[in-house]
Structure 1
Amino acid sequence: MTENNTQSHLLPTASQQHVGRSTLIWLSLFALFIAIVAGMGFVYRQYVLQQGILANMEEQLENKMAALSLEQDVLAKEMEQQLIGQQEQVQQGLDDLASRVDSHATKLLALSSVNRDDWKLAEINYLLRMADYRILMEKDNVNALALAESADDVLSSLDQTGLQQIRKILAEEIAVMKMTGRVDREGLYMQISALANQIDAIPFVRPLGEMIEPEANSFEEEDKTFKEKTRDFFYGILGKMHSYIRVRDHGKTINAILPPSEQNYLRQNLRLMLEQAQAALLRGEGEVYQDALVKARNWINQYYELNEQSKILLDELRLLEQQNVELEYNNFENSRSALSDYIQRLQKAAVRRGVR
């Protein structure tokens, strides 16, 4: 009997076993609580650190935007002054041209025996003047070349030996212009316009931590054991912590993530930069043209998502940068001068014959 009592004291009772399991569960829950608190503290610390970095970047961006706005104002004033100067030059050129046309018209009307050849010579002179105007004001060698070739066709229809030297000079000027090359300004202008229309289609860099929450399956949750639920809970915390760390292999560091208001401001400035490239293209200012496209490409690299669409846009901008829009064109001054001398000799000969 004594031996049985001794054995009963050595074996744990059911209540003692229940207390042991409860202690183990409470210890597990306490460890889980400590892990949750530590994870939340780490996430909060990372969030505060990120907000400080973003605030610093936002301040730097505002400073850059202010400097860019000032630079644009200065550039706009310079462009306005240049346009005013060019308009004055154009007006002066038009006044001189009108004065010369009036002078030639007076001389032609003073001749009593104006024949068909005289009118053709006046037409040739007009075509060559228009060709020089296209080169000087519009940098358009295509239409200028067409006008010069039309003048040569009219020259070939005149049966006058004194015009052979003029045709030779004009042929040399046409050959030089053909070898200079051609800039398709209209085509490049439309390409830049098409790229500007694609700006709204490419997204900006997304904020860190942005992720899509998976949909919970209630049936699977009911079938999971306590151990599996605990494991999934830990993995969920790790997943949320992982969403605050993102590696972007774009070959360069992203400087800032823009809020929506500044995104709209950057889009407007990007369009303005492309419009500046178009204006420089029409004026034949190669350096301004390339600088504007380089700035636009750098902004896209820095602030936009580098997806397939933005890469195509960057490639198009890079191809446009390689276009030489600053070609030096010759004019038709020599042939015009020779033609003017020839017309004056004809008029003097007519006066000596007593025609006038």
Structure 2
Amino acid sequence: MDKKKLDDNAVEAPTELSSEADANKAALAVKEADTTSDTRVERSGVSWGFLFNLIFILLLTFATGGGGYYLYQEIAVQKDKAQALSVELKQALSEPAQHISRLEREQKQLASSTNSGIDKLKNNQLQLSDRVAKLAQRNPNHWMAEEAKYLVRMAGSKLWLEKDPSTSASLLKAADDRIESMKDPSLTPLRKALAADIASVSAIKSTDIAGTVLTLDNMIEHLNQLPLNRVDVTNAANRPTNPEMSESIDDWQENLAKSWKAFMDDFVVIRKRTTDITPILTPDQQWYLVENIRNKLLQSQLALYRQDQVNYRQSLTLARKWIYQYFDLSKAQTEETLAALDALSTLEIQTPGINHFQSTPMLQQLATHGNLMVTEEVSL
């Protein structure tokens, strides 16, 4: 029994051993299969990842290269723009800089010239002050000479600008009185020159320009009051009545003579006229006539101020002609106006023939140097 048990155990042991071997083989087979599958899977995964990474790297490289090229182009364009802007900026700044530099040079030149001019003026002022002080000490009548010089200058203005020789002569006499009051025998040549100037001015015929202008103004104001020359029309009421006829047949010759005389008186009328035959003027024509005469009188005034003898007389002649032709000569106002125009037409406008006074240079010497003999030039 024990042997049977041993045999049974022996039989069972190999069976168990074979089963374990089979199990190990199966495990090894499964393990190998798993290992092969993992190896295949691993090999397949490494291949696709590598391709993916390679493609990604290539795309990234291309993108980086394209971006770098585009960035390079943009940088080049911006660089060109910056260079062009820099050139324009330099050109724009160069002109103000040149202008500023030119202004600075001009300012320096002006400052230098101004300083030199101021220095020169200061020196001249000092020299002039010294000269005035010396003259005041040397000649106490300096201001008297200045007053005489001013009077002679005013005499020239009255003579040449205002055409007033009488006032000019009076001013020259006043200047001579100032020189006489200085009681200096060395001033005799100056008084001689003043006497010659006074004689020359006094010889000029004085024209009363102001009085003539006032006369013309009065005539212009009264033009509207002058009576026009009108044609007198005889009214029927003023005509002589028909003569009375006799009823007697024996007086037929006398009645015939009266009738013939009345017929002839009405048929032919003779009137005496004081002026030339002129048509009757309308109111508008009368206004234009008066305005034209006024215009001519104003022109004569202007010519009188300008010392124009020809235009003065022509204007008065035309005004007189129109008044004589269109106004009633039987009226006293018309006769007075024509007489005044005739008197004004004879006015002689004499222009001064003196261009300068002989005493002016001597008075300048006296006022500047204190005497008539210049011993030292004045450096101003």
Query: Does the pair score TM above 0.5?
Result: yes
Alignment of 1:1-356 (within 5 A): 111-112=132-133, 114=136, 117-207=141-231, 210-214=233-237, 242=268, 246-250=271-275, 253-309=276-332, 310-330=334-354, 332-346=356-370
Normalised TM-score (structure 1) = 0.57
Structure number with greater CO (CA < 8 Å, separation at least 6) is 1
CA distance in 2, matches of 1:343, 1:214: 89
CA distance in 2, matches of 1:156, 1:138: 28
Structure 1: which amino acid aligns with 2:309?
Answer: G
Matched position secondary structure for 1:138 = coil
RMSD, aligned α-carbons: 3.9
Structure 1: which amino acid aligns with 2:289?
Answer: L
Aligned 8 A contact 2:148 2:179 in 1:
yes
Deviation at 1:299, TM superposition (A): 0.8
Structure 2: which amino acid aligns with 1:178?
Answer: S
Structure 1: which amino acid aligns with 2:295?
Answer: L
Matched position secondary structure for 1:273 = helix
* Residue-pair matches, total: 243
Q: Structure 1: where are the runs of 5+ without partners?
A: 1-102
Larger Rg: 2
Counterparts in 2 of 1:333 and 1:349: CA distance versus 1, 3 Å: closer
CA distance in 2, matches of 1:197, 1:328: 32
CA distance in 1, matches of 2:294, 2:264: 42
Deviation at 1:216, TM superposition (A): 9.5
Matched position secondary structure for 1:333 = coil
CA distance in 2, matches of 1:236, 1:264: 41
Identity across aligned pairs (percent)?
25
Q: Which moved more, 1:268-277 or 1:342-351?
A: 342-351
Other-structure match for 2:19:
none
Matched position secondary structure for 1:257 = coil
Aligned 8 A contact 1:280 1:288 in 2:
yes
Aligned 8 A contact 1:132 1:331 in 2:
no
Deviation at 1:268, TM superposition (A): 1.1
Aligned 8 A contact 2:317 2:345 in 1:
yes
